[in-house]
Chain A
Amino acid sequence: MKQEVFIEALRRELSSLPKQAVDEIIADYREYIGDALAAGRREEDVIAALGDPVKLARELKAQANYRQWQDRRSFGNLIRVIMSISALGLLNVLLLVPFMLYLVLLTVGYVVSAGLTIAGVVGVIALSGHHFLGKTARDALPFSFSTSSSSSEQAKVAPGGTSGTKDADDDSDDQTPANLKSLKIVGDRFVFNLHDDSRLELVTRAGAIEVRNDGNNFRFESSSEAARHLLTKGDDGTWSIARDDVVTLELKDDDGKVSFVRSSSDPKSGVWDISSDDGDNVKLEQDEHGKTNHLTAHSGQDTVDIGNGKIAINDGHDVIRVAASDSEYTYAIVMLPIGLIGLALCIWLTRITWRSVTRYVKRQIDVVSASLDRQQTS
């Protein structure tokens, strides 16, 4: 191989480096070849002794990229170092695929966390603003307000106290205090005090029962004997049944109607519907914790609806709606720490990654140098 061929090959391989660096390296080799020729050696021998220009260029490039990276620790420079190391065959390029995947995941993590943080900050600021301005606030969900409305409704439902009243709030607190005269909830049992002309229809787990009181006699009609036995007579002339056994309940007397329909497998959950004969009606839904999460009261044209963090009052002409921003506020407050934790995690991961890659590259460069030393001495 002639001198010019070697120089050209070297220049071509080094073309990715800055021109100044390439020129310097080329000048070094020219000088060397010149010295060797001056010492009386044959050109072919000298070039052969220098070795493969492609391999030399790779080593020179790896070193140059590494130095460039040390001067300026940018991601692009790091990639260049990794690529030149892999060109030396020290690193399998296939190993880079999971690494790249990891970097992509890390980026996604950054985007998601940053989005959550921003959304959380915006949400908290916006909703706190509402708080301070008093537009919608958690304390503006006045429970006293709802009770007073619903109890006035209930007064209409049960005129003269014949069917009693049922206080929604009390009921949500525990299971006992329903104070309908003909229906009480004692512990986990329904207790019926049936008087004249009232009719009780029950669907139990064992079957349906119908109880009627005409005069002083109770008349039972049941689809099965087992269902009949679920109903037990108390000392004071009342009848009771375990709440767990009741699937639906309907109690009618001359003033109104109470019905209960279980809404899930849990006996505590269900929908209560209390109506008077003039069309007034209170409806409440209880979830499995026995908590009232929706209450509707109708009286004539008036409606009060409480549920899902909203109160709506409708008197047939005007509608007042109060929506508590409770849930949005909670989301915003939850999003903020999650976003911040995510961001912190991402930064931490990045630092670890950066440090380990730096260490790895340094070690690889040491390997390159060591291989140079070996070639030097071997």
Chain B
Amino acid sequence: MCVLAVLARGDSYAYELVSTLAETMEISEGTIYPLMRRLQAEAWVSTYLVESSSGPPRKYYSLTGTGRRSLLEMEEEWRSFVIEVNGVLEQPGIKMDTGENP
């Protein structure tokens, strides 16, 4: 979901994605590719190659229509989940990674 959210702001490539995510959360860098392949298999993201000035061409990931819809659904679920949990805890100020997570 987080990857989708980052991609929703614009197309990106693997290292950039990981770096962006790593700013706000701990992430196992190696698993980004298995994850991206799964998202690709679900047709939530598409890829295209861009020639880079240095080294091999870069693979860019871009969110598809289905991916965007799924992201909206997940955001909705996440928000209601957070509201529910907060309701249970009755602590409105509980710390959540709401900044980047949706």
| Residues of A bordering B, CB below 8 Å | 25, 27-32, 34-36, 38-39, 46, 49-52, 56, 59-60, 63-64, 67, 369, 372-373, 375-378
Contacts and interface: CB of A to CB of B under 8 A. Distances in A.
A30 B55 CA distance: 10
Q: A-side binding surface: helix, strand, loop or mixed?
A: helix
Interface in B2-52: 2-3, 13-16, 18-19, 21, 25-38, 41
14 contacts: A27-B56, A28-B36, A30-B56, A32-B14, A34-B54, A34-B55, A35-B14, A56-B34, A59-B31, A59-B34, A60-B33, A372-B38, A375-B28, A377-B27
Contacts of B68: none
Contact of A372 (B15, B31, B59): B31
Given A28-B59, A32-B14, A32-B15, A372 B34 contact: yes
B54 A63 contact: no
Contacts of A377: 2, 25-27
B33 A376 contact: no
Interface of B: 2-3, 13-16, 18-19, 21, 25-38, 41, 54-56, 58-59
A51 B28 contact: yes
Contacts of A30: 56
A284 to B, nearest CB: 81
Given A34-B55, A36-B15, A60 B34 contact: yes
A227 to B, nearest CB: 94
A67 B43 CA distance: 12
B26 A378 contact: yes
A313 B27 CA distance: 97
Given A39-B19, A369-B38, A376-B2, A31 B13 contact: yes
Query: Which label, helix, strand, loop or mixed, suits the secondary structure of the B interface?
Result: helix
Contacts of B26: 377-378
A368 to B, nearest CB: 8
Contacts of B21: 376
Given A56-B34, A63-B38, A63-B41, A376 B15 contact: no
A56 B56 contact: no
B21 to A, nearest CB: 8
Contact of A25 (B15, B27, B33): B33
Given A35-B16, A376-B3, 5 more contacts: A28-B59, A52-B30, A60-B34, A372-B31, A376-B32
A375 B30 CA distance: 10
A150 B55 CA distance: 108
A170 B31 CA distance: 91
A29 B34 CA distance: 11
A56 B31 contact: yes
Contact of A29 (B13, B33, B54, B55): B33
A366 to B, nearest CB: 10
A294 to B, nearest CB: 75
B28 to A, nearest CB: 4
A30 B19 CA distance: 16
Contacts of B28: 49, 51, 375-376, 378
